[in-house]
């Protein structure tokens, strides 16, 4: 009788530690992946901020050459102000807030595109070394934005897959983990732009 009681106690303790280890591993795996998503979101914001920081210098350089393009310059400044005013808490990263953020950044990209078109009309501006440097930095930053958004989506996918797989899906809701949203291509991005000469 004593021997069977000891064996039962050992089995119960062993099962408890196995369950504890499993829950600990599952929970920590979700935390780690969620932190990866948060960290990558911060990197996305970082490269958008870099772009935003370049804009005043670019606008001031263009101002010197294209004084009568005030409407375009104002549009860029306004779009920058709007884009920098939208901040998203990584814990509250939902489809609606990401859409607003993406829309504001898209408006800024569009305004910058118009500014670059305007700059084509001024040969002296196109030859200005400061403008060329800023344009190159802006181009590099746009590439970084694309890369960081892709990495964010990869981290989000890894996290979402992890919390949706069995048996993690049983504990994800219980521990407060829910799916994260992805950056998506803007409407119309699937169609190639029409070029006319």
- Say yes or no to pLDDT of 192 above 60: no
- Say yes or no to pLDDT of 155 above 90: yes
Q: How far apart are CA 82 and CA 70, in angstroms?
A: 18
Residue 79 burial (10 A CB sphere; 0-12, 13-18, 19+): buried
pTM (global) more than 0.85: no
Residue 187, pLDDT score:
61
Percentage, residues of the chain above pLDDT 90: 18
Q: How far apart are CA 127 and CA 114, in angstroms?
A: 18
| Prior bond of 69 cis (ω within 30°) | no
Contacts with 131 (C-beta within 8 Å, 6 or more apart), sequence order: 58, 61, 62, 65, 119, 125
* Residue 182 contacts residue 156 (beta carbons within 8 Å): yes
**Token pair in block for residue 97:** 């807030």
- Say yes or no to pLDDT of 120 above 70: yes
């Amino acid at each position: 009788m004593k021997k069977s009681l000891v064996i039962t106690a050992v089995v119960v303790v062993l099962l408890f530690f196995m369950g504890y280890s499993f829950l600990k591993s599952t929970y920590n795996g979700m935390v780690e992946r969620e932190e990866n998503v948060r960290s990558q979101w911060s990197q996305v914001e970082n490269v958008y901020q870099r772009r935003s920081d370049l804009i005043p210098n670019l606008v001031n350089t263009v101002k010197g050459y294209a004084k009568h393009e005030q409407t375009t310059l104002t549009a860029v400044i306004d779009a920058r102000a709007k884009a920098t005013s939208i901040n998203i808490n990584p814990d509250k990263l939902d489809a609606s807030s990401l859409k607003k953020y993406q829309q504001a950044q898209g408006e800024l990209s569009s305004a910058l595109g118009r500014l670059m078109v305007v700059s084509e009309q001024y040969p002296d501006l196109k030859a200005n070394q400061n403008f060329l440097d800023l344009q190159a930095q802006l181009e590099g930053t746009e590439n970084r934005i694309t890369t960081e958004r892709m990495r964010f989506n990869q981290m989000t996918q890894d996290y979402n897959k992890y919390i949706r797989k069995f048996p993690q899906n049983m504990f994800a809701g219980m521990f407060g983990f829910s799916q994260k949203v992805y950056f998506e291509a803007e409407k119309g991005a699937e169609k190639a732009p029409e070029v006319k000469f």
